[in-house]
Structure 1
Amino acid sequence: MQYNYVGEPNPNLLCCICRAPFLDPVTTRSCGHTFCRTCLVQALDHAKQCPVDRSPLSLEDLTPTNPIIRALVDELIVECIHTECPQTTQRQLLTSHLLDSCPFSLVSCPTSQCDETLHRKDLAKHDCTNVTKLVPCDLCGTEISLDDLELHVSECQEDTTSCTACSVSLTRAQASSHSETCPATIVDCVQAPNGCSWNGPRSLFESSHKSTCPYEAIAGFFALNSTRHTQLEQENNILRYKMATLEDTVHTLRRELQSAKAALGPWYRADGVSGYSSDRQSTSSGLSSSISTSDPTPPIQDYNALAAYFPSEDTPSNRAAGFSSPSSQSSWEASRTERIAPLNLSTSLEGALVGIRESVVTLDSALDSLGRRADIALANETMRLNEDVMSLRANIHGLRMQVHTIMIERNAQVTGRNPEMVDGAWPALPTGRYYSGTKL
Structure 2
Amino acid sequence: MNDRIKDNPTFKKFEENIKGAKMLKDIVSILSPLNKNSKDKLNIFEVFEKIEIRLKAISQSPDEFNGLFSDLGWIAHESINYELMQHCIDLAKKGNIKSAEEQLAEYYTSENLKLLILQLKTTKEFQKRYDLITLAYKDTIEKRFHSVVPIILMIIDGGVNDIDKNKGFFTDSTDLTAWDSIAAHNTGLTKLREILNRTRKETNEEEIFLPYRNGILHGRDISYSNKYVAGKCWAALIAINDWAKAIQDGNKNKPKEEKTLTFRESIDEIKKIISDYEDHKKKSAETNNCISIWKPRNLKIGVDLAKFGEVEDYENFTPEKDAVKFITNWKKKNYGGIAKQVYCFIEETTLSKEAGRIRKIFENKTLKAYEIKRIIDIAPAISEVYLNVIIEYAQKDYELEIKLRMIYQNEKGDTLVIGQKNGEWKFIDSFFFHKIEYLEES
TM over 0.5: no
TM norm structure 1: 0.15
The structure that has the greater radius of gyration is 1
Normalising by structure 2, we get a TM-score of 0.15
